[in-house]
Amino acid sequence: MTQLCNTCSTPIDASGRCVTCDAVAEGLRPIGQSGFASIREMMSLLEGQGLSPEMETVPPRREEEKAHPLWNLYVPEAEVARAREFLRKDWAELLGDPDAAAAAARGEVDIDLEKGGEVDCPACGHRFTLSASAPECPECGLSLGVPANAAPDETTTS
């Protein structure tokens, strides 16, 4: 069983430290935790706004996080309000985009890999016949794969 920090519930690292609490002690505040790609994208957006975000890997809580770790995104305490406001606006604009709203709706649909059949690709919307032996969208290459291969922060379908 993974030991969790009593203060913030972050898994304790191999040296017995909490990476999140250590960052807070250095004046940083966590504003997000997700997979690498999501955190890196948010970090780039914040840097584009003149902010000073930092990211670091979180010790694994589950077995699959050893291969696909979660990452913390931090900003200095003085930048928290600006960072949160910018990200809120960015997400609100995205949700106001009809194409983005349609993509989000596609991502909510349960897809049964074992059952297969015709599906709409959650990423690009292309309709194709899914099977366990051919789980990739022929249009954009998204692999719907098997849930065991999904990163811990991805929504898996089964």
pLDDT of 130 reads 87
Compute how many other C-beta atoms are within 10 angstroms of the C-beta atom of residue 80: 16
pLDDT of 157 reads 39
pLDDT of 42 reads 92
pLDDT of 92 reads 65
The one-letter code for the residue type at 129 is T
Architecture of domain 19-96: 2-Layer Sandwich (3.30)
pTM score, whole prediction: 0.60
> How do the pLDDT tens digits run along the chain, 158 residues long?
789 999 988 999 999 999 999 999 999 999 999 889 889 999 999 999 999 999 999 999 888 888 889 999 999 999 999 999 888 887 666 666 677 667 767 766 777 777 788 988 887 888 999 887 778 888 887 877 644 344 455 443 33
Name the residue ranges covered by the structural domains of the chain: 19-96, 103-149
